[in-house]
């Protein structure tokens, strides 16, 4: 089966409703693509707590409590996930940060992405390297992040 944003969001919604769990997202490079996809999921009002677009470093630190030295690290992704879960009272939260491109940042090539998903007190992180222009990186990141949420609920 080929995953797309809509089918993943619908599946996440079904799993979240079946488990009476709420889902949230913290996004940097995806600028709301994950939250938008989740909000379009079936019966989203029953399970989607919301999303924070933490594009600026200040929002990451001041709103979501990131303490990582660099915001382009797995530690930042983990702190974003736990921060948004706490802020929105969600059972499951996914977060992404990284370099969308087109230029490198902090020595990291475009397409470098760090993600994390928190479920209760457990946080799992992931790292990916996607190819393409910034919009392709955003799309690939959103799909991969939704897969993390689905797998965490499954």
Per-residue confidence (pLDDT) for residue 2, from 0 to 100: 54
**pLDDT grade for 3, boundaries at 50, 70 and 90:** confident
Cα gap 16→68, rounded to integer Å: 30
Which residues neighbour 142 within 8 Å (Cβ) at sequence distance 6 or greater? 5, 30, 33, 34, 37
Per-residue confidence (pLDDT) for residue 106, from 0 to 100: 96
Cα gap 112→130, rounded to integer Å: 7
The residue range of the domain holding 31 is 5-153
Axis-axis angle for helices 5-18, 134-153 (nearest 10): 20
* 25-61 pLDDT per residue, tens: 999 999 999 999 999 999 999 999 999 999 999 999 9
pLDDT at 1 over 80: no
Q: How many domains does the structure of the chain reveal?
A: 1
* 83-137 pLDDT per residue, tens: 999 999 999 999 999 999 999 999 999 999 999 999 999 999 999 999 999 999 9
Which residues neighbour 152 within 8 Å (Cβ) at sequence distance 6 or greater? 92, 117, 119, 124
Cα gap 120→22, rounded to integer Å: 11
* pTM, to two decimals: 0.96
pLDDT at 142 over 50: yes
CATH number reported for the structural domain that contains residue 140 in this entry: 3.90.950.20
HEC sequence for the chain? CCCCHHHHHHHHHHHHHHCCCCEEEEECCCCCHHHHHHHCCCCHHHCEEEEEECCCHHHHHHCCCCCCCCCCCHHHHHHHHHHHHHHHCCCEEEEEEECCCCCCECCECCCEEEEEEEECCEEEEEEEECCCCHHHHHHHHHHHHHHHHHHHHC
């Amino acid at each position: 089966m080929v995953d797309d944003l809509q089918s993943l969001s619908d599946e996440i919604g079904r799993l979240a409703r079946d488990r009476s769990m709420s889902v949230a997202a913290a996004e940097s490079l995806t600028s709301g693509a994950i939250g938008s996809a989740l909000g379009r999921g079936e019966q989203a009002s029953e399970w989607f707590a919301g999303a924070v677009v933490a594009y600026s470093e200040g929002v990451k630190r001041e709103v979501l409590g990131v303490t990582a030295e660099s915001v382009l690290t797995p530690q930042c992704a983990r702190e974003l996930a736990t921060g948004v879960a706490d802020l929105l009272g969600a059972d499951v939260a996914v977060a992404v940060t990284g370099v969308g491109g087109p230029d490198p940042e902090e020595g990291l090539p475009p397409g470098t992405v760090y993600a994390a998903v928190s479920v209760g007190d457990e946080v799992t992180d992931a790292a990916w390297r996607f190819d393409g222009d910034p919009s392709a990186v955003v799309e690939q990141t959103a799909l991969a992040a939704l897969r993390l949420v689905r797998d965490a609920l499954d």
